[in-house]
A and B are shown apart, each in its own frame.
Chain A
């Protein structure tokens, strides 16, 4: 690292941020010191509530009232930043310090064009005229990889996808060539494949400025940071060279975070692959769900075959918009199936409704993604857990109470908490309540839609462990919907990969993850930011984003983004066929794209 020779752009010593509260002030940042040089990337890693976002806001003097900020030293570009007033900060923000926010959808004003919003920054800070600014903005949009920037200049935010908007946001933050760039969870709201694109872009673009990357994901930090700072409860627990910290973490908390970070190493000790002697519990053939959009039909699920055997774990993976959740809601009878054949334990339940659907739900339950939205904020935990029992008229008052206590025990929450409202629980605890509710009727299949993606990494590991324990105890089968391939590798028996509402690859987790046959699967796996990446990992970065299911490409739906597409792929749709790797794949050239998993020595795959 030659950081010492470069210009120091930020120097902060003993930063304290406090918020007044009823029981005296709360310190959200407590004595943090940091420096940043040009050309350097500093990762600020911590879980929610660690104060990492406040820390980055303090660097732009944007800590919201009534918070107070103190420090013994705070220099920006060699000048004392504590002496600046709001007018001077307005000059600095956007010119010397650029900011990239977590959610690009809300970062832009929806009623003005992207180009205008970016050129405004140039007109204001560099005093450029509109035409000159326009030229610069178009160049900048081209530099961040936005296709046909002349047209996109006049696009409104809603006309662009999340990934495109985040690119535009980077263009906006970089337009005045700032000395410091602050990025707060810049890829958290994006799909893994798009995240890989954005990280690649940030790595390439950040040469002459200092980048502060705030993230909860050590894997992301490992991809692009020179130095990392691990924060917890507003304090730095460990700081140092990124590779160094990841290789030999000194603090227990860093080790725990690292333990919880995605990587393809640990593999659940599995029984020999189940030979499906019994018929599957749930058997779906050629399932279809579509929604009317204007006069046309949007085929969200377009002929999916899907089986779930008793006691196994199936993972459904794919980018957002691939039809994962719609498939699940189709199985649950929320979205009616327009076609196909669905059988549960041999009975035809394709068009089940009324009492038959209700009976099916005793055996087929679902946990939703967002634990903050899926519990009624006005209901006590006891009432939440008895809801399914009441709905199905199960048990007497006393037996229901006993069942509720048993469930609390199963998800490791104290029974004393039964009278509390959801608001007194953390995200992880709420997800436990959600799981307990879904288990109340003792279902034989539990569908979990991204059960941990809204949670902190350390909590994710706990919830996954809980799910596995419950499976061992009750023999319930899981269908886990996830975009996290590392997680899937760890817990799933079988994997089904969806693209545009169709199955593109299907097989045992072992086969699919370690030797993916479809290039899309390979790209998904490659997009997982693993912590063991020392920069030499070979990556497959997909171009573009999933096409609209309203307008699917001809031939193989994946061909426009496929690195190995041939003429044949543009004309003919490949069928799902057995491959040499043992899985089924819908590709004419299976197994041609290889992935670098970075399996560490602990791996057994």
Chain B
């Protein structure tokens, strides 16, 4: 009783926390499935073209509209006799890249502005929150058409359009969560110690947001995949002719009854990629919840 408290069984909660959240052994089933699917798609889009050695742009009008397995095409050919498998792989590559970069862009803008709005009450907060509302009310398609008209088709115009139109989602969540972290006692303690605002934001607030951010990144990635395909389908996304999943869908319209696989196969690729991203998002959210309860157990036991 009068001896100083002994240090009781510790280290344990931390080890378990780390194990359950960040090693595949402790992942929820959905997360494992999603991660496996994502790896498969990414690997296929990067490696298979090399194995296949077929140029997705080469046309062969003599062998057009071949069904899967016929005339030497594994997944058939399109209206210009281009290899559908090669085009799907190249299209996947394009779509994944567009989704990844535009998600990163949206997250960057959203996190910075969300943190600023949370940390600076007053004019800056009002301005940022108004900006969020304003951007959310933009008609996305119209903006996309304007941007393409001004900048022309291409990877960067598309990424810019998607990123600049979708960052408010991040800003809103980051703003709300950052405000609750900023109200924590350990942030007050840091300020009392003389820690600068930037250090507080980067050292205490941002790490606290990481679990939510990872979940949001996964879901946003799925949204961007769909948005890219939709814009390309409408002709304001990928440059015409480029092997992109949206372009392929668009071109397949006229041959829907002759060659339904021209539509079904790229659509399946989109669905698989979106499902993978959603599974990862759900899995991360579940792991985050579980991690929280573990951490809570630890504090109560103490």
Contact = CB atoms under 8 A, between A and B. Distances in A.
B7 interface: yes
A426 B193 CA distance: 23
B182 to A, nearest CB: 12
A424 B5 contact: no
Contacts of A376: 186, 190, 203-204
B195 A391 contact: yes
B188 interface: yes
Contacts of B208: 378
A424 B5 CA distance: 13
A429 interface: yes
B4 interface: yes
Given A256-B1, A378-B208, A417-B7, A434 B189 contact: yes
Nearest to B302: A426
A420 B199 contact: no
Contacts of B12: 424
Contacts of A265: none
Which residue, of B4, B10, B193, B295, has the highest number of chain A Cβ atoms within 10 A?
Answer: B193
A412 B207 CA distance: 30
Given A378-B207, A429-B7, A252 B1 contact: yes
Contact of B186 (A361, A362, A375, A427): A375
A66 interface: no
Interface residues of B, number: 32
Nearest to B2: A256
B7 A374 contact: no
Interface string A412-439: 1110010011111111111000100110
A357 B204 CA distance: 21
A412 B194 CA distance: 25
Contacts of B189: 368, 374-375, 434, 437
B184 interface: yes
Contacts of B184: 373
B194 A358 contact: yes
Contacts of A414: 7
A370 B185 CA distance: 8
Contacts of A390: 195, 199
A138 interface: no
B140 interface: no
A183 B189 CA distance: 35
A588 to B, nearest CB: 39
A413 B10 CA distance: 13
Interface string B193-236: 11110010001100110000000000000000000000000000
B11 A391 contact: no
Contacts of B1: 252-253, 256, 458
A530 interface: no
A373 B199 CA distance: 19
Given A332-B192, A412-B4, A425 B10 contact: yes
A423 B193 contact: no
Which residue, of B5, B8, B207, has the highest number of chain A Cβ atoms within 10 A?
Answer: B5
A282 B11 CA distance: 42
A156 interface: no
Contacts of A426: 5, 8, 302
B28 interface: no
Contacts of A438: 193
A388 B302 contact: no
Interface string A571-605: 00000000000000000000000000000000000
A391 B10 contact: no
A373 B193 CA distance: 15
Contacts of A362: 194
A423 B4 contact: no
Contacts of B185: 368, 370, 373-374
Nearest to A416: B7
Contacts of A422: 299
B188 A334 contact: yes
B302 A424 contact: yes
A372 B185 CA distance: 9
B300 to A, nearest CB: 9
B196 A391 contact: yes
Contacts of A413: 7
B13 interface: yes
Given A252-B1, A424-B11, A334 B191 contact: yes
Contact of A428 (B2, B5, B298, B299): B5
B295 A368 contact: no
B14 interface: yes
A489 B207 CA distance: 43
B298 A424 contact: yes
A365 interface: yes
Contact of B193 (A375, A388, A412, A417): A388
B190 A459 contact: no
A391 B189 CA distance: 12
A500 interface: no
Contact of A420 (B14, B193, B196): B14
A387 B204 CA distance: 11
Interface of B: 1-2, 4-5, 7-8, 10-14, 184-186, 188-196, 199, 203-204, 207-208, 295, 298-299, 302
6 contacts: A374-B185, A387-B195, A391-B194, A414-B7, A423-B295, A424-B12
Given A392-B194, A423-B295, A424-B11, 16 more contacts: A334-B188, A365-B193, A368-B188, A368-B192, A414-B7, A417-B10, A423-B298, A424-B13, A424-B14, A424-B302, A426-B302, A429-B5, A429-B302, A434-B189, A437-B193, A458-B1
* In the complex, the 7 A-B pairs of residues with the closest C-beta atoms, listed nearest first: A424-B10, A373-B185, A423-B298, A256-B1, A426-B302, A388-B193, A374-B185
